[in-house]
Structure 1
């Protein structure tokens, strides 16, 4: 029986025995977190900046949304300097069960807590928020229906007025055959994060596209065991789609964000000290072992900021009520 893509992916990823309730992401695809501990080090530097901007509050939060295996939160906690570590309240948010052996200093929750003071990072989370797909037909836009067992598709009903308004604003369809992924559920998910942020900064890191450069055939993709596979929403694989981060930014501003930056991972990490610079050749003779270590780190940094790879990810950075509280 055909259903909308949003319903099919919701069941496939988060339903009973859904993909994300039984699998850890690291087994199926490589995120920046798994690529190198350098990513967590950069996030920690961002957390330190946020902490300083907030005036070093008595307790500062770090929330890792869509945490998967909790690795980012665990690495941030482990690397935090003593003064920050004593005040740090780390929370990993995921619908899957808490991983065995996760650092006890990291709380595990099924949803983003309210009243966060600190930093929220959603790394490759929004791309897994289920959404509907629309296709332009000779009769106008229609939702695409899919058979969850096979991935076979056919045109379905007209999008409801709210989805049609989203398409008109963020991803207008032109010729017959053009497709769009209706990102309104991602906007709402991101707005809910901003609404739960009392003071501080929230960052979404994801495959992304912006208005004027949307892909004409959409971006639905599937991943399993480290390889790309057909996007069949039968629960056997991850099903993902790139994120309209500019639409999410507007939703975040409506939810209370007061400062917004849209950039790339390359530029964001370079600002946080990740340059990929090779160590000086003189170090090879002065400290051969140190040179090899530095060369390995430079290689890891280069992968994280490669504009054709992980460095091409979008970063949406939004803050609210930054600064000291006043009485």
Structure 2
């Protein structure tokens, strides 16, 4: 790309990280709107209550691994409108729910009518013990974009308010070091990468709020073996994928280099494997149930369909789960149970 490749746009060009921060989280940003993410796209949380039930089972495993403390925390990073936390509290066994301290972490205002048991915070609480869960949070941590110019130099991509781009200066310093380690770019003009260093730092800060327990990040992701040559930056508006435009009217997202976020002792696996380990199966109910109890058969068939969507290859099942233990031995039954279901 050169400065003349696209028609002049509006506003002074700035890096994608700065532009995305304003477009998503500014006073009139996308995530400040009343509808929340569910009005524009569908996540695993919205696809089925089976997802919240699986996370509830994971929290119970964490609680057991921690020795059933007097208080166990559930921290929902990027909570949207509190849908996951609300459903999780309803799915927990009564003895666990009575000890759970639930936190929803979101920059938007607290939704009207939210369960009063849920604390609504702009940042995760420090010093908690339990499960920190980030479902599709890291993909919305703003990042800068690099593109290789005609001379083979990786330059920072700048963007105007209408989405038109120009190339800025060379990528230097810590961002250049991150690219060299995690997403090295060949000298071929036009190759692009999202510089994931801010996500690594955001995840490390979130994990650091746990005294003991497990931190889980779930997102559409890639690793060193599967980096997309032209990046993944995109937008979503009213349920449809669209060009990313930092005007506050659409989501701006990019896949996550989760392997760069992983700390010591972490495990990476597919959502299909993780949910399978937590009891989610897309198997159809036996036909005999249709004649014995038709209503139960229909309910079971509905659950099977929802489960199939959550674990589908080529869809939600290909999401990646990053499991980061904190103060919990790697050999605990909790992590072994989950990791042993990973598929090669």
- Please classify the TM superposition score into its range, dividing by the shorter chain length: over 0.9
Question: Gapped runs of 5+ residues in structure 1?
Answer: 254-258
Pick from 276, 280, 286: which aligns with 2:286? 280
Deviations 1:245-279 (A, max 9, x none): 00011xx33xxxxx211011000000001011110
1:183 equivalent in alignment to 2:196:
yes
**2: distance between equivalents of 1:139 and 1:208?**
26
Provide the residue aligned with 1:217 in structure 2: 230
1:16 equivalent in alignment to 2:16:
no
**2: distance between equivalents of 1:37 and 1:222?**
26
Instruction: For residue 157 of structure 1, give the secondary structure of its aligned residue in structure 2.
Output: strand
User: TM-score if structure 1 supplies the norm length?
Assistant: 0.95
**1: distance between equivalents of 2:260 and 2:287?**
46
1:126 equivalent in alignment to 2:152:
no
The aligned runs of 1:77-96 (5 Å cut-off) are: 77-96=89-108
Provide the residue aligned with 2:7 in structure 1: none
Instruction: For residue 169 of structure 2, give the secondary structure of its aligned residue in structure 1.
Output: coil
**2: distance between equivalents of 1:80 and 1:192?**
28
Deviation at 1:320, TM superposition (A): 1.1
Question: Gapped runs of 5+ residues in structure 2?
Answer: 1-11, 330-344
Contact 2:57–2:92 (8 Å) recurs in 1 = no
Tell me how many residue pairs correspond in the alignment.
315
Provide the residue aligned with 1:50 in structure 2: 62
Q: CA RMSD in A?
A: 0.9
Contact 2:179–2:185 (8 Å) recurs in 1 = yes
Pick from 91, 100, 117: which aligns with 2:129? 117
After the TM superposition, list the runs of 4 or more consecutive aligned residues in structure 1 that deviate by more than 4 angstroms. none
Provide the residue aligned with 1:154 in structure 2: 166
Provide the residue aligned with 2:260 in structure 1: 247
Pick from 71, 77, 81: which aligns with 1:59? 71
Instruction: For residue 156 of structure 1, give the secondary structure of its aligned residue in structure 2.
Output: strand
User: TM-score if structure 2 supplies the norm length?
Assistant: 0.90
Contact 2:245–2:252 (8 Å) recurs in 1 = yes
